[in-house]
Structure 1
Amino acid sequence: VLIIGMDISDAVSLDPARAYELTSCLVVNQLYDKLVDFEPPDYSEPVPEVAESWEVLDDGVTWIFHIRKGITFTDGTPLTAEAVAFSLKRVLKLQQAPSWVLTQFGITEDSIEVVDNYTVKIRLGRKVAPRIFLSCLAFTVGAIVNPNEVKAHEKEGDLASEWMTDHSAGSGPFILEKWERESEIVLVANENYWKGKPRLKKIIIKHVPEPTDQLLLLEKGDIDIAWSLTPDQIEEVRDKVGIKVVSVPAYEKVYLGMNVGFKPFSDERVREAIRWAIDYDAILRLLKGGAIKLQTFIEKGIPGYNPDAPYYRDVERAKKLLAEAGYPEGFEVELMAPPTFPERDIAAIIKQNLEEVGIRVKIRLVTAAEMYEKYRKQGHQLILAAWGADYPDPDALAKPFADYRVKQLAWRNMWYDDYAADLTEKAAVEMDWSKRLKMYHELTEYVLHKGPYVILYQVVRQVALRTWVENFHPDPSFFLLDLSRVYKERVYGYGGA
């Protein structure tokens, strides 16, 4: 039995067509298989799962997926092309939060076709770089569900969505035994899993919202994994006997957004001045091992990552740029940030840094919900925010950071740059992978110097676990964790595997 302690209060539904929160996606990924997946610990390329192979026809929009024979759902029903088509159409019919991951490609129910028992044809609405589509099929919304179970539990045309909130109907390595809200989620091994029986008989995910309680339970050996310890707690347990820390650079970054609609920020020299004013190392020290240096918009671990990090604290250079832009005495600006750690402390460092170059900062701490609502309406001057990738492809980051037409971050910061937007669109339809990577290099460099951002760091996901837990690879995203190969070494005096 593997016992994980984490906050599971965010979970809304364990139906793959609805799951969109960390806990929901983490659990769904243990219960279901997808056409393609990413293999930990290397997430660079999508690999075959239910689909053993695929090809794109010459028109660039028609995809043929060849389904692996011999996979069965947990009730013994064979997984066929019919189940694949049914699952994807079900997502489109239900139109829940994660459905955009598929609908963004112009897929409709009519464009998904069963060719024969083990072949599915999907027609996209437009040509798109192959890796983008495959990366999105690896998201939990692409999970293959058992049509028989859905039909048996359907109520008033809900496609069994109510039943699947807390039941599973998959072919994955685990089966959902129970979900007691705010208490625990229990998974049991699928003894007939097609890739081989999981080494764990059971996984219990206990609701332990407070990191302090997670730490105590881990130290006592009552849980095997503490999911969300603070950087200080991680440092505290790092050298303790019987505990180890595993980490991975997450697909998440923290940055400053400068609204170009606020007059001083409309001048590129002012934006450059702010990038030269920040003490990036002080922020990394504050976060201990919980962050690594990143100044471009594609995180380390995602293809297209650009390690270029030219900025460091240079007060004189920042002052000179401000004077050239017509602000020798600086100006006043409001910085919005959440009232929680570490954002509150980072905001204080930024305030101090900017005041040293003459920019007077008024910090306004507001809840994340209120802050993002205002941000979505372009209602800020300077904002301390975070952004994660929805799928492990550079397109997932180029669109928000560089293309104002998608109405995400570039738009929120009123940075209407057609060169960046056009290049983002071109890269998304470039079929040649090496040419595509060159485009992202050019785009990351351009946004680094011209864009409305100061990228401060990449988050490092750190998980503390007992040393008897083996083969656990933390997930850089929020939907790729695979517990099917994790096992526990027997330890004298403690429960075994």
Structure 2
Amino acid sequence: MREHSQGNVNSQTENARTPFARDPSRRHLLRAGGMAAAALFASGCDALSTKPQAKGQQGPTDAAANAKEAPALAARVKAGELPALGKRLPTKPMVIQPVDRPGTYGGQWDLFGDSPPAGGGAEVYYEWLVRWSPDWSKVVPNVAESWEIDDDGRQYTFHLRAGMKWSDGKPYTTEDIAFAYNDVLLNKELFAAPPGYLVTGDQPARLEVLDEQTFRLTFARPNGLFLELLASNGTHVLTSCAKHYFSQFHPKYNENLDALVKKEQFDHWYELFSTRGGPQGGNGLIWQPNVPVLTAWRTTQILQQGTRMILERNPYYWKTDPQGRQLPYLDRIVRHVISDQEAALLRAMDGDFEFLSPTFYNPNLGTPKNKPVLATNRERGNYDFVDGLDSTMNKTVIAFNLTCKDRQLREVFRNRDFRIGLSHAINRAEIIAAVYQRQGEPWQAAPRKESEFYLERLATQYTSYDVNLANQHLDKAGYTQRDASGIRLRPDGKPITFNIDVITEEPTQIDALQLVRGYWQAVGVKLNLYTIDRSLYYTRKEGNQHESSVWTGDGGLRDGMVDPRWYFPANSESNFALLWSTWFTSRGQEGEEPPAAARRQMELYDQIGETVDAAKRRELFMEILAIAAEEFYVIGTVLPVGTFGIKRNNFHNVPKSMIASWRYPTPGPTCPEQYFVAPGQGGAGEDQ
């Protein structure tokens, strides 16, 4: 039996199927590059560290330094509107070590987005059972104070924090866990199938409630990746469904629900459940003001009430700094709704946002094109850059749909020489210079050099720009005949022309594809850009309607093992062969049976999910990558350089560098609850 608690954490984790394959809404782990990640954080403190504050660091110097809670909360206690702090905190609060120094209460954090984004909000909602350490090196306690794992990785016993409360003051106990698990995650009207991270051997884990603070999950087979998956993005339901609130919208607990559904003008109970803050809308439950949360801030003004949404401090938040002062330091977060990139850039240049993390929300400002402009305006805007180690391994991955509906195109796309030829036809150096401000290097869809999974052959093969070699491979593929305009002909005599889906939110991908279109035209293949919004992109993809598509290359660091979408047909994000990935995730009940090489990768991945030993898991995954190199499913273009964020100079406790990854998820593991605004400070380049 292995025990895990704060100060004694071991990231023995993993899963049998790709983590979110059974839940298509989970769109978009794991050594963050080992030495690279360690170097990245060498200049900053671990926010979860238990080490004493470094000499020379100074906290608040006024009377506020002695306050154990925000002044507004103290006033509410004095007025009899809130219980005393000691009655609001758990018996053992989680202690967060500030990155710079203890903060002062007050202030707000302004940021922006085009809406409450599907993948955004990590500054607010990252309060899972367990969490990633800031450097992405290990899983550490969070809502769960500690846990034990049996020796074969089948049984996980978790201990919640005694006395912990929801934002409305009601106790958070294993009763909420049981509701979230049995009545939400296993409810087929809410989830067609249990999320993959909870399933082994085609069976969901069995939940046992041992007492108010202790529960156990027992899997049918070993679940080696479980903790890593649990710490990653997309597992929020277990800590987000307050039974005392959600049961009023659940048929198991409300015998009058039909009348309520009718009164609220819904057709089905689960539509009402979701609208009132349920899990069907991804992380949308945190945006509802009435929903009890465990997060540092809670919504008080929803988006529909204006052009911004406001989140204010949770008076029952269960974390403190080392001096016992309740977090968060910041009073509130204001998310401004800005859909125009130029408008967002101008406001960023003016210093209107306290902190925009290296992942940047839509519209995306964190591009090589924008960095010189933002750099020039640092003094005027009173901000500086925050470096990010990007977990993506490619700016633009080109995925031919090997299972597309057009059978003739299938035959063309499945010809490996066809794919190799088109890869050699791409002038990646020109793309890097013209689109990415000379930042990046030619790269296929392969783990980054910083990753423990780096495989040179997979990363660098077929990246040379060689038109003669491209034509040789296309001729070898059998497409030697051309029409009057020079376009090669398919076996049925029609020209090889096809559409490629690209989203409007990724202008650099569109720019890159404009160049690719010319390169491919020169070797006799016609590409048509189909520029659409993200929603239509996913509708077409999920219906297998696309002929080809592009997306960024997720899975470049330790996230590659839990989200191997580009390395074999693993999940609903494997755009190059969705019918094959469906066959895999449905255990052959749906989709189409893939070729032998892909089936072998699937067998290896199943073995990874049942392997507790990390070294053995790596060995198995490297075999998957070796097969990916041989099969060459997709075409990569450019390896991203380090990304960046921006931070105002009076906004403190933000690490100088951080991981930039959706699965991390940035900036959640850096503990935003300890960020703070220092009044009266300013000036570009100020020593912080």
Whether the aligned pair in 2 keeps the contact of 1:333 and 1:382 (CA below 8 Å) is: no
How far apart are the structure 2 equivalents of 1:50 and 1:271? 47
Whether the aligned pair in 1 keeps the contact of 2:445 and 2:634 (CA below 8 Å) is: no
Q: State the shift of 1:298 in Å.
A: 4.5
Whether the aligned pair in 2 keeps the contact of 1:101 and 1:136 (CA below 8 Å) is: no
The amino acid across from 2:676 in the alignment is: Y
Whether the aligned pair in 1 keeps the contact of 2:131 and 2:142 (CA below 8 Å) is: yes
1:316 aligns with 2:484: no
The amino acid across from 1:304 in the alignment is: F
Structure 2: which 5+ runs fail to align?
1-106, 258-268, 278-284, 321-326, 403-408, 482-486, 489-495, 581-593, 684-688
Q: CA RMSD in A?
A: 3.8
Identify the match of residue 500 of structure 2 among 336, 339, 345: 336
**SS of alignment partner, residue 385 of structure 2:** strand
Q: Call closer, same or farther: CA 1:230–1:212 in 2, change over 3 Å.
A: farther
Q: Tell me the alpha carbon deviations over residues 284-332 of structure 1, each in whole angstroms, 9 at most, x when there is no partner.
A: 3313388676423446777635463342323333333334434456723
1:466 aligns with 2:562: no
Q: State the shift of 1:5 in Å.
A: 3.4
Which residue pairs with 2:179 in the alignment?
A: 86
Whether the aligned pair in 2 keeps the contact of 1:70 and 1:194 (CA below 8 Å) is: no
How far apart are the structure 2 equivalents of 1:471 and 1:314? 49
Q: Call closer, same or farther: CA 1:235–1:135 in 2, change over 3 Å.
A: same
Whether the aligned pair in 1 keeps the contact of 2:355 and 2:648 (CA below 8 Å) is: yes
Whether the aligned pair in 2 keeps the contact of 1:338 and 1:367 (CA below 8 Å) is: yes
Q: State the shift of 1:51 in Å.
A: 2.0
Q: State the shift of 1:36 in Å.
A: 0.7
Identify the match of residue 129 of structure 1 among 212, 220, 224: 224
The amino acid across from 1:321 in the alignment is: H
Whether the aligned pair in 1 keeps the contact of 2:420 and 2:473 (CA below 8 Å) is: yes
Q: State the shift of 1:394 in Å.
A: 3.2
**SS of alignment partner, residue 223 of structure 1:** coil
1:143 aligns with 2:239: yes
Instruction: List aligned pairs for 1:84-483, cutoff 5 A.
Output: 84-92=177-185, 93=187, 95=190, 100-102=195-197, 104-105=199-200, 111-131=206-226, 133-135=229-231, 139-151=235-247, 156=257, 162-164=275-277, 165=285, 166-167=288-289, 168-181=291-304, 183-191=307-315, 193-196=317-320, 197-225=327-355, 227=360, 228-229=364-365, 231=367, 232-240=369-377, 241=379, 242-246=382-386, 247-251=388-392, 253=394, 254-260=396-402, 262-285=410-433, 286-288=435-437, 294-298=443-447, 304-306=453-455, 308-310=459-461, 311-327=463-479, 331=488, 332-338=496-502, 340=504, 341-356=507-522, 358-368=523-533, 369-376=535-542, 378-386=544-552, 388=554, 393-398=559-564, 401-403=567-569, 408-412=574-578, 416=595, 417-457=598-638, 462-472=644-654, 473=658, 475-477=660-662, 479-482=665-668, 483=672
Q: Call closer, same or farther: CA 1:306–1:487 in 2, change over 3 Å.
A: farther
The percentage of counterpart residues that share the same residue type is 18
Whether the aligned pair in 2 keeps the contact of 1:273 and 1:319 (CA below 8 Å) is: yes
How far apart are the structure 2 equivalents of 1:125 and 1:161? 30
- TM-score normalized by the length of structure 2: 0.61
**SS of alignment partner, residue 292 of structure 2:** coil
Identify the match of residue 488 of structure 1 among 657, 667, 677: 677
How far apart are the structure 2 equivalents of 1:436 and 1:289? 36
How far apart are the structure 2 equivalents of 1:173 and 1:421? 40
**SS of alignment partner, residue 22 of structure 1:** coil
Q: Call closer, same or farther: CA 1:233–1:262 in 2, change over 3 Å.
A: same
Range 398-407 or range 51-60, more displaced: 398-407
Q: Which has the higher strand share?
A: 1
How far apart are the structure 2 equivalents of 1:474 and 1:4? 21
Which residue pairs with 1:28 in the alignment?
A: 125
Q: Call closer, same or farther: CA 1:382–1:170 in 2, change over 3 Å.
A: closer
Q: Tell me the alpha carbon deviations over residues 461-490 of structure 1, each in whole angstroms, 9 at most, x when there is no partner.
A: 543332322333574116453221222233
How far apart are the structure 1 equivalents of 2:249 and 2:499? 51
Structure 1: which 5+ runs fail to align?
12-20
Q: Tell me the alpha carbon deviations over residues 251-278 of structure 1, each in whole angstroms, 9 at most, x when there is no partner.
A: 4743111344533433322322222222
How far apart are the structure 2 equivalents of 1:346 and 1:380? 19
Which residue pairs with 1:7 in the alignment?
A: 113
The aligned length equals 479
Whether the aligned pair in 2 keeps the contact of 1:8 and 1:23 (CA below 8 Å) is: no
Q: Call closer, same or farther: CA 1:222–1:380 in 2, change over 3 Å.
A: closer
The amino acid across from 1:487 in the alignment is: F
- TM-score normalized by the length of structure 1: 0.81
Q: State the shift of 1:206 in Å.
A: 1.3
The amino acid across from 2:365 in the alignment is: L
Q: Call closer, same or farther: CA 1:305–1:79 in 2, change over 3 Å.
A: farther
Q: Relative contact order, CA 8 A, sep 6+: which one is greater?
A: 2
Larger radius of gyration: 2
Q: Tell me the alpha carbon deviations over residues 112-158 of structure 1, each in whole angstroms, 9 at most, x when there is no partner.
A: 22112322111234433234543458732332444334457877376
Q: State the shift of 1:434 in Å.
A: 0.7
How far apart are the structure 2 equivalents of 1:299 and 1:184? 37
How far apart are the structure 2 equivalents of 1:34 and 1:98? 21
How far apart are the structure 2 equivalents of 1:26 and 1:489? 19
**SS of alignment partner, residue 237 of structure 2:** helix
Q: State the shift of 1:350 in Å.
A: 1.2
How far apart are the structure 1 equivalents of 2:643 and 2:539? 26
Q: Call closer, same or farther: CA 1:82–1:461 in 2, change over 3 Å.
A: farther
